[in-house]
């Protein structure tokens, strides 16, 4: 599935705005590397991921648009995180652009997006989840927007939280 | 206190939706012995999450990716040149009066104008330990790397790093070599 974000990434790639493109992914890369590595070493791993992606972008890779850039980002994250603790791996693989990096089997997972989670919810809860998780509104703002009682929003949020966890763990 | 993984995850997702920085390390610390479980869920979320508009800090970070890697690593660790020099001086037992010379050499190495292959292993040990990066991650990619394709070579390197190194190191080759020269220029 490709969405509006993929279209924006593709536009930035096409226009050669690679710094802007990669900058948009910095927070996600850092956060996922820290989660994967289970600690602050993830900061160093994230730096290596950024360096790798930057070199690839500068070398003109990924401009063909065959895969959404987010698929490439997460594939490189997986590749670097898996290799990070292997002896000697950083000395060669990471910096050799000839090494076929990503395991693009990850692309299957990439077809799942948060919007799809929202779509799995009953309509009322889905509305609340979209405003909480996609638009980042506070519960009071959600109540205001949907013309609901704050307590109704809190109850919906209470139902949504375990559903999100189940969906992510599936 | 019982850790509510779902609440920690919910907080993180909502922070991300608001475009705020994600404190994954903090969330994992709060999860205590359930950090592993939370980390797996955060990863799964981030794989599916939308990216946000780039922050000023993120733009600066990406722009810095063209800086020499050793400089970037040092700045990333919020270390001064003198911090690294101190580590080298201590690790290599350099006499205090020769510290300025170590500093000059280190700055040449950091700027990518000193041939890293000539630098002694114990200097590298001090640097890599302090910067917490492997040596390969601290040196500029070489133009003569045998695996690099020609097309990549033309686009990646703005100048001939090796030639620059040769010119600089030859120009500054000392006549009377001491132990600091040997540490940074080898014994040749």
Residue of B nearest to A51 (CA): B65
Strand positions, DSSP E, B18-125:
none
Distance of CA B56 to the CA centre of its chain: 21
Going by C-beta distance under 8 Å and a sequence separation of 6 or more, which residues neighbour residue A153? Answer: A128, A139, A140, A142, A143, A146
C-alpha torsion sign, points A65, A69, A70, A72: positive
Please give the DSSP secondary-structure letter assigned to residue B177: -
**B100 vs B81: CA distance, rounded Å:** 11
Best B28, B31, B40, B44 residue to mutate vs chain A (most A CBs within 10 Å)? B44
**What is the complex's ipTM, to 2 decimals?**
0.85
Q: Where are the domains of chain A?
A: 4-110, 114-169
Residue B102 pLDDT > 60, yes or no? yes
CATH 1.10.10.10 for the A114-169 domain, yes or no: yes
- Chain A residues with CB inside 8 Å of B40's CB? 35, 169
Distance of CA A75 to the CA centre of its chain: 11
Q: Is B82 strand, coil or helix?
A: helix
Please indicate whether residue B109 or residue B147 has the higher confidence score (pLDDT). Answer: B109
Q: How far apart are CA B27 and CA B149, in angstroms?
A: 43
Nearest CA in chain B to A74: B47
Q: Which CA distances in Å does A123 have to A120, A156, A157, B126, B159?
A: 9, 11, 13, 60, 59
A128 three-class SS: helix
For residue A95, give the nearest of B7, B40, B136 by CB distance.
B136
In terms of phi and psi (left: phi > 0; alpha: psi -120 to 50; beta: otherwise), the region of B104 is: alpha
B125-165 per-position pLDDT tens digit: 999 999 988 887 788 664 444 433 333 333 444 444 455 55
Number of other CB atoms surrounding residue A108 within 10 Å: 9
Q: Do B48 and A112 count as a contact with CB atoms less than 8 A apart? A: yes
Mutual orientation of helices B81-91 and B121-131 as an angle, nearest 10°? Answer: 130
* Residue A52 C-alpha, separation from nearest chain B C-alpha, in angstroms: 10
CB contact under 8 A, A35 and B149: no
Nearest to B39 among A38, A114, A117 (CB): A38
What is the C-alpha separation between B69 and B169, in angstroms, rounded?
20
B56 neighbors A20 (Cβ within 8 angstroms): no
Name chain A contacts of B59, Cβ cutoff 8 Å.
19-20, 23
CB A76 within 8 A of CB A62: no
Neighbour tally for B180: CB within 10 Å: 22
The most confident of the ranges A99-113, A138-152, B59-73, B137-151 is A138-152
Residue with tokens 């000539």: B118
Domain boundaries, chain B: 5-48, 63-185
Residue-wise pLDDT for A135-162, tens only, equals 889 999 999 999 999 999 999 999 999 9
* CB nearest A168 (choices: B25, B45, B151): B45
Across chain B, mean pLDDT equals 82
- Better pLDDT: A74 or A105: A74
Check residue B80 and give its pLDDT: 94
The pLDDT value given to residue A49: 92
Task: Report CB contact under 8 Å: B134, A90.
Answer: yes
Q: Cβ(B12)–Cβ(B21) under 8 Å?
A: no
Q: Does residue A50 belong to the interface with chain B, where contact is any CB pair within 8 Å?
A: yes
DSSP string, B67-80: S-HHHHHHHHTT--
CB A115 within 8 A of CB A3: yes
Interface check for A162 against chain B (CB to CB < 8 A): the answer is yes
Query: For residues B93 and A112, which has the higher predicted lDDT (pLDDT)?
Result: B93
* C-alpha atoms less than 13 angstroms from C-alpha of B12 in its C-beta half-sphere: 31
């Amino acid at each position: 599935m490709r969405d509006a974000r993929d279209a924006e990434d593709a536009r930035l790639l096409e226009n050669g705005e690679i710094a802007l493109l990669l900058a948009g992914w910095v927070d996600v890369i850092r956060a996922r590397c820290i989660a994967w590595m289970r600690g602050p070493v993830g900061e160093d791993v994230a730096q290596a991921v950024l360096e790798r992606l930057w070199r690839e972008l500068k070398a003109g890779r990924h401009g063909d648009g065959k895969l959404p850039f987010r698929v490439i980002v997460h594939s490189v994250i997986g590749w670097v995180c898996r290799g990070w603790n292997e002896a000697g791996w950083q000395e060669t693989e990471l910096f050799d652009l000839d090494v076929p990096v990503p395991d693009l089997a990850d692309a299957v997972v990439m077809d799942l997006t948060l919007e799809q989670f929202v779509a799995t919810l009953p309509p009322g809860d889905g509305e609340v989840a979209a405003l909480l998780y996609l638009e980042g509104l506070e519960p009071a703002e959600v109540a205001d927007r949907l013309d609901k009682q704050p307590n109704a929003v809190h109850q919906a949020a209470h139902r949504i939280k375990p559903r999100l966890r189940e969906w992510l763990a599936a | 206190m019982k850790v509510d993984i779902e609440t920690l995850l919910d907080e993180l997702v909502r922070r991300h939706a608001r475009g705020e920085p994600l404190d994954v390390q903090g969330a994992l610390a709060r999860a205590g012995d359930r950090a592993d479980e939370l980390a797996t869920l955060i990863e799964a979320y981030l794989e599916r999450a939308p990216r946000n508009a780039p922050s000023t800090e993120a733009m600066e970070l990406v722009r810095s990716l063209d800086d020499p890697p050793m400089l970037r690593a040092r700045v990333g660790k919020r270390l001064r040149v003198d911090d690294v020099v101190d580590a080298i001086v201590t690790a290599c037992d350099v006499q205090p009066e020769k510290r300025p010379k170590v500093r000059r050499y280190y700055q040449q190495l950091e700027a990518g104008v000193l041939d890293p292959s000539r630098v002694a292993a114990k200097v590298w040990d001090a640097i890599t330990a302090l910067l917490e990066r492997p040596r390969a991650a601290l040196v500029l990619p070489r133009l003569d790397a045998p695996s690099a394709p020609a097309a990549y070579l033309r686009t990646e390197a703005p100048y001939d790093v090796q030639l620059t190194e040769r010119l600089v190191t030859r120009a500054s080759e000392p006549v009377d070599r001491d132990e600091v020269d040997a540490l940074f220029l080898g014994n040749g």
